[in-house]
Each structure stands twice: as C-alpha cells, then as structure tokens.
Amino acid sequence: MTPLLEVRNLVKIFPSRDGNHPMRAVDGVSLALRKGSTLGIVGESGSGKSTLARLVLRLIDPTSGSIHFDGEDLLALDGRRLRGRRRDMQIVFQDPYASLDPRMTIESIIAEPLVIHRIGDRSERRRRVVDLLQLVGLDPSAASRYPHEFSGGQRQRIGVARALALEPKLLVLDEPVSALDVSIQSQVLNLLLDLKARLGLSYIFISHDLSVVEHLSDEIAVMYLGRIIERGPADTLLRYPRHPYTQALVSAILDADPAAKRERILLREDQTGSGNIPAGCRFHPRCNFAMDVCRKVMPTPTSLPDGSEVECFLYGPEAMPSRPAPTSGSREFLLLGKNT
Amino acid sequence: MSVEPLLSVERLSVGFNTETGPVRITEEVSFDVPRASAVGLVGESGCGKSVTAQTIMRLLPAPPSRIDGGRIVFEGNDLLLLSESQMQGIRGDRIGMIFQEPMTSLNPTMRVEEQILESLRLHRRMSARAARPLAADILRKVGIASPEHRLRQYPHELSGGLRQRVMIAIALVCGPRLLIADEPTTALDVTIQAQILELLKSLQRTMELSILLISHDLGVIAEICRTIVVMYAGTIVERGSATEVLANPLHPYTAGLIAASPRRARKGDRLSTIPGSVPAPGTEPIGCRFARRCPRALPTCHTSIPRLVELRAGHDAACWNPLP
C-alpha cells in the first residue's frame, strides 16, 4: 500500500539577514505516514519540527526534496491544483488565541474553508457548521458567538472543527494542546482520539512533550537541529530509546508519581545559544558518549531489528566493538552516562 | 519541637477593582514555608497562585489590586504592614524571586555583571570593585562555566537555560532565605528544564534555602518540593506532604489533575478528564467551587463552603466528600 504521505530528503534553508549564515531548519528529512495512523514528531525549540509541518502542507516551499501525498507529487502541482489538494490536508495550530480571527463569528470561522473551496450554499454550510460543532463537542449555539467568549480548550475545539470542515484525510497538529491547562489538555486529546477513530483520519502530531506524543502516536520521530535522529514504533522508542538525545528526552519526562522516580540524564548545555549546526554529528557537543568520529563524520541512519532507525555511531556498522551500545531492556541505560 | 516557619501566609484574600466592580481573586489562602524546605503551589491558570506569590513580594500594583484581609509573616514581620522602602530592603535581599520568562525579567541593555552588581550595591552598599568577585562566585554556584566571560555578555547572547541560571544568580547573590520561583522552567526545553530543576534542588540543600515553587505541573513540583499546596479558583483545596498528596490525594480535584496526565494512561486509551472549566473570578458558585465539575459532589457541596481541615496526619483538604 502506498503511504498517504511520503517525504524524501526534504531540505529547507532560510537565508540569513546578512546572507552569510543560512539556517538549515530542515536538513534532509524522510518520512512516511500510513493511512489511518499517527506519526508523532517530537523535538525541542529549534529542532525544525514546525518548519517540517509547514513544508509537508506546502505552506512554504522546500529548498530540495520531494513530497508525495496519496501518490501525487505535491511539489509538481500548480497553484490551482495545489489548492484542490489542500482540501485533504489541514493544520491545527498551537495557540487557540492567535489562530482565530477575533472579529469573525464562530460560524464564519468554521465555514471559511467551505466558502474558499465553493462548497455548498449558505444554508448547507450553516448545517455543516452545526454538525462540525457537535462533532467537536460544542453546542450549536456557539455558531453566532465570537472567539473571545470561549476558553482556550473550547477555542482549540473550534480550530479542530475548522480543520475538519473540508473532510481532510490528513490533519497536522502542531502543538495542539501545549497552551492548555492539564485538565483541558486531556479533553482535547480524547477528542482527537475519537475523531481519528470515527473519521478514519491520519495525523501528524507535533509536540515537545514526549508523553503527549506517545499517547497518540503509532510511530515517533525525534528531531534534533533539523534531522530525524531516531524513529521507531512509539512504545519501543519510549521503552528502549537508543540515541543518547532520545534517552535524555525520555529521562526528562516528569512524573508526579513518587514511585516512578528515575535517574535523570543531564545533557551538557549548548552554552552559545547561536543555533549553529556543528560538524559531524550535530548532537556531539551535548553528547555524553561523543567519540572522535562523531566530531568529524555525520552519522547515517542505521536500521535495527525491531523496526527502529537511529542516526548514531554507537549503533552503526562503524560502532566501536569495545563500547557496548546502551540498548539494555531495563532502565539501566539511563545510568550509562555516569559510568562511561 | 515547634520551629517558627520562615514564611507564614495567613488567610490572605486579594481582590482587584475592575470596571464592573471589585472581584475577589484569592480567598483566605493559608500556608507555611518552613525553614530550609521547599513548598510547591500548584494549580491551573487563573487559580490565584501567581497573585499569591506577587502579593508576598508586594509586586502587584494597588490599585487595582487590594488586600482584603490576612497577613504575610516573614521572619516575624507582617510584610503587608511594611512601607515600600522597607519592602525594597527585603526584596532581592531576604527574598529572591525568579520568573517564567528570563528574557523579559533581565534588562536587555545591561551586561550580566551590572545586573548582578546592582543588587549588591543596593542591599550591601558594596563598591563595584568589592562586589565583582562575588558576582563571579555566584555564577559558578549556579553552574555557569567560565563566569568571567559571561559577566561581560548581554542577555541576548545567552541561551534560554543560561539566562535562567543568570536570573537565579541575581536572585541569590545577596543570600536570601526564601526564593520564590514562579513557573521557572515553563518556557524552557525539557532537557534544559531537567538541568534547572536539578540546580534548584542542589541550591536548596547547599544554601539551606527555602523555596516557594509555583507551577501548573505537578511533575515539576514533585521534583523539588516536600510540601504541596493545591489551589483551585482562588482557594486552597488540599495541602500536605508531597508524597502523601501525590500517592493518596484527598480532594477530587487533585486526584483529577494527577489522573489527567497522559503519563498515567495506557497508550491510546481515553484520558481521564475533569469536565467543564474553571469558573471565572466573580462567577464562582456558592458552596464548593469545584462542585460543578466534581464526580463526587453531594447536595451539600452545592450549598455550603467546605473548610480546609486536617483529615489525615499533616494532610488537609477542603472537601465534603474526600477520597477514602
């Protein structure tokens, strides 16, 4: 089966103001999304995850690489045909306060995509808005009100309703719950789970919060400075993180459960704050395991038997035999940083 | 042995004058911060946790804010009775404070060194020459490598994690007894958050510091604090030792907060939720403010206000129908 979305070797370079320091925001990313599944993309600020989301929807154009959606080359489409394709792919943004126009009623916000794509007449659109409001758990009376009358969680539901108006196949969720309180966050996550099951949607779920990503995703990709440095089935990735960066991320998940206390891996800080991409492995300046090769050569993805893939010399064919790869099944790997 | 707590907030009620009349933000909030111990104030947006913290520091402009009652006793003095100049002597000297967004609290036009020295000049009347070694010292204490280099830099030249370390250094340079940390890691990446929490934990031990940590994240609080105070819609709903509150919460709101975390759920299962949302200030229901969202609400909950009482040893809750 062809994947719903297939991205190959995608690169996005933003020019810098002085022209001398181009920013490689996305630096050779490949991924595939199966129909009906959720791909989680996790990374910290500057990892390129939001740029990747915009590239995938062609909201911005890549410097190089290819994007196929439902078998069609997205980059080959002209403006009109691209607009037609966009019906199938929608995005929900992080900030429910900034992404809804305060001067528009909820009805016109949700119906706007229908108007743009010239779908239905006025009364049909009105009926569709009511359906969508009910679908996301809001009262139909919301239609005549304005965004400021709603709480953050309700606004995010409105954002989801707008994204679903055109019955897309793919929903890109860019930090959809990060601005919400814990008790509201779980309501919205449940809604997303329900909608996916009911409508057979596929999701790309982007977040800095690994525990939220894990909950929704079938597969997770970890980004660091523009590259996917590890990917794998969600539960495998959380239980057996391979890349030293993923291991640190997993260890940094805070759990209020005192019984779940675990050893934390502390990474070196990028004390420069410059955002420059180092030579060799881009993670090596912060890595507790960095070897000579890591400073000079960029690692390529190594496939592992359980379906994971990792870009790290600890696992590649070049891996030094004297250094055991931290793949232990228990949480012991978390302590490796201290022993070596 | 009973030892005076370092800070004692007693029945503190804070309100705001708004266009539509006065609105109460916190209602009779009481808790202690013991010496050399960390207390966490947790709650969702609008619960009054930051207002409480800023009232302790007397940082809220009055008007529109007003103290409607209560005391804030720190080292034996009621801070609410002090003049502004007396308060200036305490702020940054006996009590340090750090905020969520280091970039907005640091002065972008001043080098790190000047910002640290400012505090020493003001509170210790030290000359720049005498103070300079102390500035380098405190940067080293907060884990900054090559402090001499950092002292000459401006905030924009530092990464987010370093800025927060500098903020902590400024807050601690005069050796305060109490550090108030308002969402200190919320704006940081998770791997940096882990470092800053580790730093706060070790400073608390080595400097025998008391910390009042304000956060929306129980996970952050659990990292550092011995005591947890849970706020909801301007009131304290639960208070007790961190291990007790997290393992055996009494109040349904606390239990709901703990259960709502995706960390607790089986993958792909529906998450436990708290229905509805927090009432806006001025629209709280009579009776228990959580009753409308509460799965355990009884008829009394909608009519009478539950008091915060000790239900287990050292573990208080304001609830008519606490969890068993």
Q: What is the pLDDT of residue B23?
A: 87
Q: Do B258 and A209 touch (CB under 8 A)?
A: no
Condensed to tens digits (0 to 9), the pLDDT of residues A144-191 reads 999 988 888 888 899 999 999 999 999 999 998 888 888 888 888 999
Which of A181, A211, A273 lies nearest to residue B262, judging by beta carbons?
Answer: A211
**Residue A74: DSSP 8-state:** G
State the Cα–Cα distance between residues B3 and A241, nearest whole angstrom.
Answer: 47
State the Cα–Cα distance between residues B71 and B63, nearest whole angstrom.
Answer: 18
What is the average pLDDT across B211-218? 94
A212 touches chain B (CB under 8 A): yes
Contacts of B238 in chain A (CB under 8 A): none
Q: With a cut of 70, say whether residue A334 has pLDDT above it.
A: no
Q: Which residues pair with B238 in a beta bridge?
A: B230, B317
pLDDT band at A319 (very low <50, low <70, confident <90, very high): low
Q: Do A182 and B217 touch (CB under 8 A)?
A: yes
Q: What is the pLDDT of residue A338?
A: 31
Q: Do B262 and A257 touch (CB under 8 A)?
A: no
Mean pLDDT of chain A: 86
B125 touches chain A (CB under 8 A): no
Q: Are A191 and A163 in contact (CB under 8 A)?
A: no
Condensed to tens digits (0 to 9), the pLDDT of residues A103-121 reads 999 999 999 999 998 888 9
Kindly report which listed range (A190-199, A318-327, B128-137) carries the lowest average pLDDT score: A318-327
What is the average pLDDT across B68-88? 93
Condensed to tens digits (0 to 9), the pLDDT of residues A82-93 reads 888 888 999 998
Pairing relationship of beta strands A89-92 and A38-42 according to DSSP bridges: unpaired
Contacts across the A-B interface (CB distance below 8 Å) = 129
Q: Do A271 and B159 touch (CB under 8 A)?
A: yes
**Minimum distance, in Å, between the CA of residue A335 and any CA atom of chain B:** 15
B277 touches chain A (CB under 8 A): yes
Condensed to tens digits (0 to 9), the pLDDT of residues A20-34 reads 778 889 999 999 999
The complex's ipTM? 0.80
**Minimum distance, in Å, between the CA of residue A194 and any CA atom of chain B:** 9
pLDDT band at A328 (very low <50, low <70, confident <90, very high): very low
Q: What is the pLDDT of residue A5?
A: 95
B263 touches chain A (CB under 8 A): yes
Condensed to tens digits (0 to 9), the pLDDT of residues B230-254 reads 999 999 999 999 999 999 999 999 9
Condensed to tens digits (0 to 9), the pLDDT of residues A219-261 reads 999 999 999 999 999 999 999 999 999 999 998 888 767 666 6
Higher-confidence position of A46 and A165 = A165
Residue in A closest to B46 by C-alpha: A181
Q: What is the pLDDT of residue A143?
A: 92
Q: What is the pLDDT of residue A261?
A: 62
Q: What is the pLDDT of residue A99?
A: 85
Q: What is the pLDDT of residue A9?
A: 95
Q: Do A273 and B160 touch (CB under 8 A)?
A: yes
Q: What is the pLDDT of residue A317?
A: 64
Residues 75 through 104 of chain B touching chain A, CB cutoff 8 Å: none
E strands along chain A, which residues? 5-14, 23-33, 38-42, 64-69, 72-73, 89-92, 170-174, 202-207, 219-224, 227-233, 302-303, 309-310
**Minimum distance, in Å, between the CA of residue B89 and any CA atom of chain A:** 34
Which CA distances in Å does B247 have to A259, A260, B236, B257? 9, 11, 19, 12
Residue in A closest to B158 by C-alpha: A273
For residue B213, give the nearest of B49, B9, B80 by alpha carbon.
B49
Pairing relationship of beta strands B38-42 and B227-232 according to DSSP bridges: parallel
Measured over the CA atoms of residue A198, residue A202, residue A205 and residue A211, the dihedral's sign is positive
Peptide bond into B64 cis (omega under 30): yes
B23 touches chain A (CB under 8 A): no
Kindly report which listed range (A126-130, A196-200, A336-340, B154-158) carries the lowest average pLDDT score: A336-340
Q: Are B155 and B163 in contact (CB under 8 A)?
A: yes
Peptide bond into B63 cis (omega under 30): yes
Q: What is the pLDDT of residue A97?
A: 77
A178 touches chain B (CB under 8 A): no
State the Cα–Cα distance between residues A223 and A47, nearest whole angstrom.
Answer: 6
Condensed to tens digits (0 to 9), the pLDDT of residues B15-64 reads 988 888 888 889 999 999 999 999 999 998 888 999 999 999 998 887 88
Q: What is the pLDDT of residue A274?
A: 52
Within its chain, how far is the Cα of A262 from the centroid? Answer: 26
State the Cα–Cα distance between residues A106 and B147, nearest whole angstrom.
Answer: 53
State the Cα–Cα distance between residues B86 and B72, nearest whole angstrom.
Answer: 15
Q: With a cut of 90, say whether residue B177 has pLDDT above it.
A: yes
pTM of the model: 0.84
Pairing relationship of beta strands A5-14 and A23-33 according to DSSP bridges: antiparallel
Helix axes B190-206, B160-172, angle to 10 degrees: 20
Q: What is the pLDDT of residue A260?
A: 64
What is the average pLDDT across A274-294? 86
SS3 letters across B155-183: HHHCCHHHHHHHHHHHHHCCCCCEEEEEC
Within its chain, how far is the Cα of B193 from the centroid? Answer: 16
For residue B179, give the nearest of B160, B158, B164 by alpha carbon.
B164
Contacts of B217 in chain A (CB under 8 A): 182, 254
A1 touches chain B (CB under 8 A): no
The residue of B166, B244, B273 whose CB has the most chain A CBs within 10 angstroms, and thus the best one to mutate to test that interface, is B273
Condensed to tens digits (0 to 9), the pLDDT of residues B94-122 reads 999 998 877 778 888 999 999 999 889 88
Condensed to tens digits (0 to 9), the pLDDT of residues B263-301 reads 777 777 888 888 888 887 778 888 999 999 999 999 999
Residue found by looking up tokens 């956060």 in the block:
B215
Which of B158, B216, B219 lies nearest to residue A255, judging by beta carbons?
Answer: B219
Q: What is the pLDDT of residue A259?
A: 64
* Total Cβ atoms within 10 A of residue A236: 16
The angle at the Cα of A148, spanning A146 to A154, to the nearest 5 degrees, equals: 85
Residue found by looking up tokens 């003095």 in the block:
B77
